[in-house]
Amino acid sequence: ICLTYQAEWSYKYETQWPGVCRAGELQSPINIMTRSAVVDYHEAHIRGPLGFRGYGDVKVAASNNGHTLKWSNIPDTPAPIVSGGPLRGNYTFLQFHLHWLSEHAIDGMKYPLEIHMVHIKTGLSVEEALKRPDGLAVMGVMGMVHSGGNSEYALDQIMPVIPDLMDRTEKDIEEKTIDMTRLFSPDPQSYYTYHGSLTTPNCQEVVTWIVMDKPLMISDSQYKMLLEVNVGARNNYRSLQATNRVVYRSVASCSAIIMPS
């Protein structure tokens, strides 16, 4: 009889993930069924469109943590803030990272890439945020592979550091100022939103998910380089979880609004 011990979780052994990952009811990612998504017109009306402040100049440090490529806001430098839409109050940007393939699906379709912009309820510590249902807000943007056109533009400022991140890094590298609006969906007011979890251990159910409807374009050669990055497995996405809940959509994602009488 052998007792084995895993030092760290991996995408290869998802069934052995610890924490809420094994037992949760509000887990992420999910398949978003667009025809079942409902507009909460009253709520959306109160908090209005999403508000984005300070995303044009963000000082970040990059790393490969063995699971993903991540660009983190440098502590004590100004951080962007998102508010409005489904959010109560402000959420401060912490980091963005990449999943290939996408984690969420939209009408059963997965995309080659999903960018996660992780935000924390302004004023809370991470420890506090991980204990509250409204502690974090993550914006998800899908990426679609395209050759030619302007498809280099979106990832242009984050690609140069990737050759130095092919393997797990001990420390964050290269502090650089980037324009995060390049990573935004072509229509950032058009989104699906629901209450879910972190998609990695310990899968705490503390996330207001805002998944953008319209994908951005990334180039063929950029995507090829991403696929070469060592994240301990070939891909770094969690499998789809049971929906069990209502998914909302923004008013802007509707082609027409029919008011109840």
Contact set with Zn ion (CB under 5 A): 116
Nearer to Zn ion, 116 or 121 (CB): 116
Interatomic CA distance for residues 110 and 101, integer angstroms: 7
Contacts to ligand BO1 from residues 137-156, by CB under 6 A: 138
What the block records as the tokens of 180 is 């995060």
- By CB under 6 A, residue 199 contacts ligand BO1: yes
Q: Decide which of ligand BO1, Zn ion, none touches 118; Cβ closer than 5 to 8 Å per partner kind.
A: ligand BO1
Task: Report the greatest alpha carbon distance in the chain.
Answer: 68
Amino acid at 42: H
Q: Is 235 in the site for ligand BO1 (CB under 6 A)?
A: no
Q: Choose the stretch contacting ligand BO1; rule: CB under 6 A; options: 44-52, 55-63, 145-153, 192-200.
A: 192-200
Instruction: State which residue, 27 or 219, has the beta carbon closest to ligand BO1.
Output: 27
199 or 253, CB closer to ligand BO1? 199
Strands (DSSP E) found in 42-112:
51-53, 58-64, 69-73, 81-83, 91-99, 105-106
Distance in Å, CB of 249 to ligand BO1, minimum: 20
**Quick one: 72 or 219, whose CB is closer to ligand BO1?**
72
Residue for token pair 């940007």? 93
- Give the nearest distance from C-beta 99 to Zn ion in angstroms: 5
**Nearest partner of 185 among 156, 219, 212, judged by Cα:** 212
Minimal distance in Å, beta carbon 6 to ligand BO1? 18
Say if residues 69 and 59 touch (Cβ distance below 8 Å): no
CA distance 47 to 82: 12
Note whether 27 binds ligand BO1 by CB under 6 A. no
Query: How far is residue 215's CA from residue 231's CA, in Å, rounded to a whole number?
Result: 23
10 Å Cβ neighbour count for 50? 21
Contact letters (x/-) for ligand BO1, 97-126, by CB under 6 A?
-------------------x-x-------x
Q: How many residues bind ligand BO1 (CB under 6 A)?
A: 9
Q: What angle do CA 17, 128, 199 make, to 5 degrees?
A: 30
Based on the shown chain and the rule CB under 6 A, indicate whether residue 200 belongs to the binding site for ligand BO1.
yes
Residues in the site for ligand BO1, rule: CB under 6 A? 94-95, 116, 118, 126, 138, 198-200
